[in-house]
Structure 1
């Protein structure tokens, strides 16, 4: 079977679905959008397996602006993703947004980075406060602050939410807007000179298109290789552990220890994780949980930072994948000089879910108008990869 579509989105997770939404809802667009997703269940999707959080605490101005737009989008989700027939209830549009903040902790040699980042964040309008060890102890009496020099806390605009619910809302709205989801795997991109003409699926179906978006997450480099483009994005496994604490810990934000270990409340329990050391973080596509990571790296840190966590019980876990940008852990966004109708949105390195609204809007502007109109994200264009000039983000979690 041969189909045609004005825009073909490869990847139906949060990035691809957000891009489809902003394109299909643009009043100047009257064409067809097709989204291709190989995992109908989304059980292995980076979107659904993420820790599902949003923060303003970045060091790069563009990342901060992306999240400022993102939090407003999430706060006003019903204005964007409610269906026109009005049959949804309030609970249908509830993504469980909890604006309880991020708390980034610094030891003796880390406070200068937090202070410098805070100056940039506040200048751009992010409500981030700095707390001394004494203030930290007063506000969070359950926390050991003896070896801390500073804490950076989001007073608003930061927290966590239900990733699966957000994805389902995007998909439902897209289908109402006429977006077609096809559950199949891309195996070939046919191109002549500097343009892709057709995508071939595993079932043999072909789709002819005008514009193509690579939103394939950890598999993005495979899509790029089909047009002989080297995309420096690898799949890196990240494990999330759920634990129960018998002692009551109140007023707990998402805490990022100075060691890199993070934890936050999740209902009556907590979730936690840490990125492996760069020397022990190979490309990985399996979903096996590394329990040694919890036993050897995470639990000792939790027990040190929160004495009540000495007697916790680990009760659940899962593994997902980052689409890890080897150059600078920031998104690679826009076209490549070699193929001018293939748009990249890859290498978020753990930031994709929270950046999806702004990046989806940016992609729609590039595809439909040829330039950014809302927020200039040209700092993330492919040329920096070709020139090996990283945009270094200091706050990668």
Structure 2
């Protein structure tokens, strides 16, 4: 195969984000009041991506002005944010029930987002949801695991259908080469894809409208306030870059939420996690992992009604709204993990590891043309690739919301609601996410997902 590359860039405001920038121009994202620097707050959120903004939204929606909330984000353009660079998929086909429940709430939130995220004076948020089931395929060797996954999903209330024979799959999807495939599971509801940028901006703008104070700056550390009469009141040091000048500010807080994505391991050490003794000697096991998304044109592809396709070889794709355009991805093996010093795209990886797999399974992909590609970072939890949520066992006024390992965009609504419940009530009221706590890292009891994408 000869790689046919038309464009060599990741998405820019001229492609993926153009519509949203027109709806939410820069001057609508802040206000004159937002330019003032607060010196004290009840809750300080570090990380203004989709997780942090969801936490702010759910807190403000619940208690309004009863709590002051400040959110710090280093880059409020979000040009390299994992949230904005995601494929924007949501699925219920997990094997950890908590993940299924988080996706189910995420789907409910997306369906109501035009109402939930409505801000007076602005157009309603349109997350551009496209309902489409995930199709998971299995060979004879992986058939048993697929059937086990299916039972877990059914027990957790997922809307999925089992395709138990190769003939059944071939009949349903005649454009597929089913050689070596013995079974499949397809979602029949509550799965699809949406525009992650729209969700991010909708959450941010709604949180702003409810009184969250967004600050552009970098979190640089915590100091304990001396001789204070207020318990659990610490000081966060923030490096703010304004007018090309670095200015160090301090803000007192009662509760700190770390929603810092792939930087969580590094940011955690600034907060003392991973630099102390005992429990504090354990760092947050989250680091950046780079993933590539390739946008291709397939003249005679399966069509826009094809499912979100997950081959048993690890390659998968989904259709775009534009006819014959598809987004393709494959998680690398440990040996193939790319460096994370930049967001450059590896086109050779597509040519050698993704294209051949897709072309073998879907013959029309033999004639694809690569249109565009970009890279983004996962907040990869090296311990067990699942989210880390809840208060830190040693630092009771620090709450963690990180480590989603590629599932953050779809689980952001549920994670935001969960953190809100944990902060306000000291426990989870809707979905019990205790198993996602930091304690499992201390006790060396990983919670593995058997259906990783």
- Residue 281 of structure 1, aligned match among 331, 337, 343: 337
TM-score, length basis structure 2: 0.84
SS where residue 303 of structure 1 aligns? helix
1:215 is aligned to 259
The ranges of structure 1 where at least 4 consecutive aligned residues each deviate by more than 6 angstroms after the TM superposition are: none
CA distance in 1, matches of 2:382, 2:250: 32
Within 5 Å, give how 1:134-213 maps onto structure 2: 134-191=167-224, 197-202=234-239, 203-213=247-257
2:99 is aligned to 63
Alignment partner of 2:154 out of 96, 119, 122: 122
Aligned residue in 2 for 1:75: 111
1:337 maps onto 2:393 in alignment:
yes
Q: Which residue of 1 aligns with 2:16?
A: none
Counterpart check, 1:112 vs 2:141: no
2-side partners of 1:252 and 1:28: how far apart? 43
Report how far residue 207 of structure 1 moved. Answer: 1.4
Runs of 5+ consecutive residues of structure 1 not aligned to the other structure: none
Q: Following the alignment from structure 1 to structure 2, what is the Cα–Cα distance between the partners of residues 2 and 21? A: 19
Distance in structure 1 (CA, Å) of the matches to 2:366 and 2:138: 22
Give the secondary structure class of the aligned counterpart of 2:169.
Answer: helix
Over alpha carbons, which structure has the higher Rg?
2
Deviations 1:18-62 (A, max 9, x none): 000011111476111111100121000000011111000000111
| Number of the residue aligned with 1:257 | 311
Gaps of 5+ in 2: 1-36, 240-246, 274-282
1:299 to 355, 378, 381: 355
Whole-angstrom distance in 2 between the partners of 1:282 and 1:385: 26
Does residue 5 in structure 1 map to residue 41 in structure 2?
Answer: yes
Q: In structure 2, what is the equivalent of residue 48 of structure 1?
A: 84
Q: Is the contact made by 1:237 and 1:285 (CA closer than 8 Å) also made in structure 2? A: no
Alpha carbons of structure 1 residues 109 and 26: separation in structure 2 relative to 1, 3 Å:
same
Superposed CA deviations along residues 105-136 of structure 1, whole A, max 9, x for unmatched, are 11111111111111111122111111122121
Structure-2 change in CA distance of 1:158 and 1:243 (3 Å): same
Q: Give 3-state SS (helix, strand or coil) of 1:319's partner.
A: strand
1:219-240 per-residue CA deviation (whole Å, 9 max, x = no partner) reads 0111111133211111000000
Q: Cα distance 1:119–1:368, how it changes in 2: closer, same or farther (>3 A)? A: same
- Number of corresponding residues: 393
Kindly indicate whether residue 430 of structure 2 is the aligned counterpart of residue 394 of structure 1: no
Pairing of 1:20-35 with structure 2 (within 5 A):
20-27=56-63, 30-35=66-71
Task: Say which of 399, 402, 408 aligns to 1:346.
Answer: 402
Question: Structure 2 vs 1, CA of residues 160 and 298 (structure 1 numbering), >3 Å: closer, same or farther?
Answer: same
Answering whether residue 294 of structure 2 is matched by residue 241 of structure 1, we say yes
Q: Identify which range, 118-127 or 47-56, moves more after superposition.
A: 118-127
Q: Is the 8 A contact 1:235 1:283 kept in 2?
A: no
Matches of 2:265 and 2:353, distance apart in 1? 30
Name the counterpart of 2:22: none
Cα RMSD (Å) of the superposition?
1.6
Task: Give the whole-Å Cα distance in 1 for the aligned partners of 2:128 and 2:193.
Answer: 8
Cα deviations by residue, 1:298-349 (Å, 9 ceiling, x for unpaired)? 0000100100000100110000000111111000111122211110011100
Contact residue 46 and residue 259 of structure 2 kept, 8 A:
yes
Q: In structure 2, what is the Cα distance between the partners aligned to 1:34 and 1:197?
A: 14
